[in-house]
Amino acid sequence: MVDNLIAHINKFVQLDEAEADEVSKAITTISIKKKQFLLQPDHVCRANYFVSRGCMRLYFINRNGQEQITLFGIENWWITDYSSLETGKPSTYYLQAIEDSEIIILVKKTIDELFIKVPKMERYFRLILQKAYTATMRRFEYVRDQTDEERYRHFVALFPGFVQRIPQYMLASYLGFTPQFLSKIRGKKVRKSA
């Protein structure tokens, strides 16, 4: 499991053997079952989570009482509530496994120690966050600039395998439309021109 993480880190920075060893010592691993939670509202988020296998979702309950999915985390993605993790304030999110998952845990205290021992990890997270930030901005722009159907087609083109893995109602929540609408456009044989 650790090898996945080291390989991922090495895509962004080059760890030497001693540094990789420090990373390995800093993490813990956990196997969780589908539907288990790693975080719930009113709890402080204590760690960052790397999905080695499986799939997680970060969501909250909106004022209409509905689950609203903010983020999915599949293999090689970090997922957490950075705001709660950084500030120590209670989270408003649920972080839940939507498949049986293998998760690497990096707790807050250890993250801070690791940044001192292996400064490259600070760069790694800076680069990860930079990517996540620009991706979220793009996603935001797509909401404004694409029709619902285009946004769905775009998402499928970007993450073809992923769409098959998650329940339809979760994808609808993430993309911001009703399961009925998603079902309708999934049923279409002909791609609507843009």
Q: Does 140 help bind a copy of itself (rule: CB under 8 A)?
A: yes
Q: Does 86 help bind a copy of itself (rule: CB under 8 A)?
A: yes
Pick from 83, 178, 180, 183: which binds a copy of itself (CB under 8 A)?
A: 83
Q: Which is nearer to a copy of itself, 33 or 88 (CB)?
A: 88
Shortest CA distance to 80 belongs to which of 121, 22, 143, 128?
128
**H-only helix segments in 32-159:** 82-87, 108-117, 120-145, 148-158
Q: Does 49 help bind a copy of itself (rule: CB under 8 A)?
A: no
* Cα distances (Å, whole numbers) of residue 108 to 41, 114, 183: 18, 10, 41
**H-only helix segments in 27-119:** 82-87, 108-117
Q: Does 129 help bind a copy of itself (rule: CB under 8 A)?
A: yes
Pick from 119, 178, 183, 188: which binds a copy of itself (CB under 8 A)?
A: 119
Token readout for 109 is 């205290």
Quote the CA–CA distance of 115 and 44 in Å, as a whole number: 21
Q: Which range, of 14-22, 32-40, 137-145, 181-189, touches a copy of itself by CB under 8 A?
A: 137-145
Q: What does the binding site for a copy of itself look like in residue numbers (CB under 8 A)?
A: 60, 62-63, 68, 70-71, 82-83, 86, 115, 119, 122-123, 125-127, 129-130, 132-134, 136-137, 139-141, 143-145, 176
